[in-house]
Amino acid sequence: MTQATWSSPLTSKILLDAGYTRFAYHHAGGPGQLPPDGIFNLIPVTESLAIDGHRAGFTYRGLGSYFDNYGNPNNWRASASYVTGAHNLKVGYQGADLIALTSTVRNDPLMTYAFTNRAPTSFTVGLQDWSTNDVTKQASFFAQDTWTHSRLTLQGAVRFDRAWSYSPANKNGTSTVTAYNSAPITFEQTTGVNSFKDVSPRVGAAYDVFGNGKTAVKFNFGRYLSPATNDQNYPLNNPANRIRTTLTRNWTDNGNFIVDCDILNPALQDNRATGGDLCAATSGANLSFGQQTALTGTIDPNVLSGWGVRPADFQYGLSVQQQVLPRVSATVGYNRRWWKNYTSVDNVNTTPADYESWTINAPSNPQLPNGGGYPITVYTLSPAGGQKGSFTEVHLDSFYGTERTRYWNGVDVDVNARLRGGLFLQAGTTTGRQVDDTCALRAIVGNGVASSTTGLDNPDPRNCRSVDPWETTLRGSASYTIPKVDVLVSATLRSQPKLQLNATWLVPNATVQSILGHLPSGATAAGTTTVSLVDFLTAGTADAGTGGANRLYADSRRNQVDMRFAKIIRLQQRRLDVGVDVQNLFNTNYGTVYDTQFGSATFLQPTSIVAPRFVRLNFTFNF
């Protein structure tokens, strides 16, 4: 990492400032991912159930792949400030150049297995050494001013942003030839985002109501763009991202744990009569596996260029701040945030009519919402629909004549105290909820409303509207410098709501077959179909104001206290803090990830918990 900054006061009122930051890194996905720690000459197995003392989704025998990633974000800036008694004016420029190179290195067999209750149900193969290389750039100019007149302070700012991206010819695709690609797959340089252009305003105002500095009313409004990084829309048009690089097929083994089918033959292969395997027909997007001439879809040019189409959010807030005691103030504010310019994905080869619905009752179990037993209607792709394959189009939501609704609103309450003797206290709460509604869009593009890659055109209306319950987060902090010995003691507290959990159920395909009269597309009788057991909210239901009847939550709030102790050593105009940071002081162990596979012996038990208490020595030198 390299950083450089420069500033120069030209006059008593004008300050020039500039800076540059370069950061480069290589990342392989974490410890244990690379040989010899990672085993790559065996086919790894992922068991869907929690058996043999392991959690659901446990992978053993080896690793399927690791990432060989390189990133190089570079940022630079320059600004000029002009400060007078009434005005604080600043104009500036910001630029960025970001490189993201990702390479997937697969195991020697190029294959992974999926088991259910120790029996093979599917396998996945993939192309070796597949790389994607993306570059995103941006340039921004801004001007802002703060003006104070009597009891009124106004703030105004405007910002112009231009962002663009491309995919270089080198390091996109693969030069490695395998049984699944008879020749290297390469691409020419491709334009991604052909310039997003946006003008974003931000305004604010503060008014001293009585002119005594004790009561203030504040308002703010702004438009904020999503970051110009190598994700979201920027790499969408990279052809290396639009090639199907993996193939998954449902599979019933003959007991030798070897795939005995012709993997690249998409037809149903039933060799059980001669002691072989059953491999279900390849369907959907899997039909395009490894075909350089068969890109999996196209991107609407309106998604990749234009004025005001970059993903963004709007925010406004209104608050009242009041001095309640000397050195003690309280603030109450309302804030609202809403998001715009989402994209949806449509498989133009299929329609909602290619999906079949069937209904099954959730299991009766006290761990499920309301004890379970409620009916669930599921939509699965028909065999005929599966053979149509997949070719996707990505459009802005507005292309379909409607847009999703997504917003958060809530109330913040904060109390700040600066007491005599150097004691600082802060406490506050945030109470709010989020609302998401995609029902109108889902009726047109199905699961593609979530930019999903599976189940496109699935017309299932479940969870198309989600109204979260009102939830409260608590926060607090305190700091005190012990006089004479110059020791700083500080603490922070946060208490977050319970995690909302998902729950899935592996329904045997034999059960689905008994309801439908046939198997879903690409399925085998020995396999399973995944069904969600959680309902966020169904449009038009009586409980629309409470967030839905079938939600599932973790067993406790997420509470944590952190502390810091630091000895202050003063060296004339310099200062050295020698400190000890204690994270998670009380060693709380709330879950961060849970086993959500119903039927598992560890269902709804944590598979990962918050980091335990740890102590860190800290040195801070101020000069």
3-state secondary structure 251-264: EECCCCCCCCCCCC
Give residue 347's pLDDT: 87
Residues 307, 309, 315, CA angle at the centre, nearest 5°?
Answer: 105
Q: Report the share of the chain in percent with pLDDT over 70.
A: 95
Report the distance separating Cα 595 and Cα 86, nearest Å: 58
Give residue 37's pLDDT: 67
pLDDT over 50 at 553, yes or no: yes
pLDDT over 60 at 418, yes or no: yes
Report the distance separating Cα 202 and Cα 155, nearest Å: 8
The CB density around residue 241, as the number of other CB atoms within 10 Å, is 20
Mean pLDDT across the chain = 90
The mean pLDDT of 165-178, rounded to a whole number, is 95
| Predicted confidence band of residue 32 (pLDDT cuts 50, 70, 90) | low
Long-range residue pairs from 19-25, CB within 8 A, at least 24 positions apart, any chain: 19/76, 19/77, 19/78, 20/74, 20/75, 20/76, 20/77, 21/74, 21/75, 21/76, 22/72, 22/73, 22/74, 23/71, 23/72, 23/73, 23/74, 24/70, 24/71, 24/72, 25/70, 25/71, 25/72
pTM for the full model? 0.86
The mean pLDDT of 138-153, rounded to a whole number, is 96
Q: Report the share of the chain in percent with pLDDT over 90.
A: 68
pLDDT over 60 at 481, yes or no: yes
pLDDT over 50 at 543, yes or no: no
pLDDT over 90 at 536, yes or no: no
pLDDT digits (tens, 9 = 90+) for 344-401: 888 888 888 899 999 999 999 999 988 899 899 999 989 998 888 888 889 999 999 8
Q: Who wins on pLDDT, 61 or 53? A: 61
pLDDT digits (tens, 9 = 90+) for 74-132: 999 999 999 998 889 999 999 999 999 999 999 999 999 999 999 999 999 999 999 99
CB 471 within 8 A of CB 432: yes
pLDDT digits (tens, 9 = 90+) for 16-30: 999 999 999 887 765
CB 438 within 8 A of CB 400: no
pLDDT over 80 at 537, yes or no: no
Give residue 33's pLDDT: 59
CB 360 within 8 A of CB 351: no
Give residue 540's pLDDT: 45
Give residue 20's pLDDT: 97
Give residue 454's pLDDT: 54
Give residue 497's pLDDT: 96
Give residue 460's pLDDT: 84
Report the distance separating Cα 352 and Cα 445, nearest Å: 8
Report the distance separating Cα 377 and Cα 549, nearest Å: 16
The CB density around residue 493, as the number of other CB atoms within 10 Å, is 17
Give residue 547's pLDDT: 43
Query: Which helix (DSSP H) or strand (DSSP E) does residue 141 occupy?
Result: strand 130-149
Backbone φ, ψ for residue 187 (5° rounding): -140, 155
